[in-house]
Amino acid sequence: MRRVSIGIVLAAVLLVGCFCGILLVFFGHTGPVMDAAGRYASRAVAETGAVNLVSAIYLNYRLFDTLFEIFVFSVAVLGVRFYLVGRSEEEAVERVPESQVIRTSADLLFPLILLLGIYLALFGHLSPGGGFSGGVVAGSGLLLCAVALGTEAIARRFHETAFEQLEWIILLAILLLAVFPIVFGLIPLSDLLPHGRTGSLMSGGTILIYNLLIGLKVFIGTWVIIYYFLRHRGEV
């Protein structure tokens, strides 16, 4: 049997512990039963500091739901890894070089796509977007590069086992950030940071941090899915 490193066991225990903690604290907690939608629409900007109501809801009022959605994505990535790692790798085929058009447009488009992804994640609390779509957009940019230049070329520069582990470290960080308010005697998932001037980048409290963390996590997850599919099902 393979020895499991202490770090993984600790991380797993910590993950489960965070979740149990959140569940325990909320066990007797019944939220306001009144008209939630009306309250969100009329008071969200003042209460959360985020101009984009959607992100105000899913990263502040309903952060609890979002945590599970992050989990769903992580499990999906894990599933892809689990089922593809066992499959035999494609034997190295002589790569047909992509046409100049595709390579040049990949070179031109990749920085723009990456920038769009970062923008979507960074300005998620001000304009449409958010960490999830930002991460996927940036990941699709990598996909374009993988198609144009070959997966191995990208993976050599980019892919590390540590990189895959970073995804789980970020998940841990998100959970810790959610539990952290306990230290200050607040209920978990509540907002600690100042709301800032409404409409400026540094507003919305923790929503900005959540967006960035989720964006990075989804970006890595998307790349892991693409990488394993390309490696075990062959190049496009």
Binding site for another protein (CB under 8 A): 52, 54-55, 120, 128-130, 132-133, 136-137, 139-140, 143, 222, 225-226, 229-230, 233-234, 236
Give 88's DSSP letter: P
Q: 55 or 206, CB closer to another protein?
A: 55
Nearer to another protein, 67 or 143 (CB): 143
Nearest residue (CB) to another protein, 128 versus 194: 128
Of the pair 120, 170, the CB lying nearest another protein is at 120
Q: Collapse the DSSP code of 221 into the 3-class scheme (helix H, G, I; strand E, B; otherwise coil) and give the result.
A: helix
Nearest-approach distance from CB 197 to another protein, in angstroms: 23
Q: Residue 143 Cβ, how far from another protein at the closest point, in Å?
A: 6
Kindly give the interhelix angle for 6-27 and 63-85, rounded to the nearest 10 degrees. 150
- Written as one string, the DSSP assignment of 23-85 is HHHHHT-----S-HHHHHHHHHHHHH--S-HHHHIIIIITHHHHHHHHHHHHHHHHHHHHHHH
- Please return the burial class of 217, using the count of CB atoms within 10 Å of its CB with bins 0-12, 13-18 and 19+: buried
Minimum separation from the CB atom of position 184 to another protein (A) = 31
CB 80 to another protein: min, Å: 9
Read off the amino acid at residue 210: Y
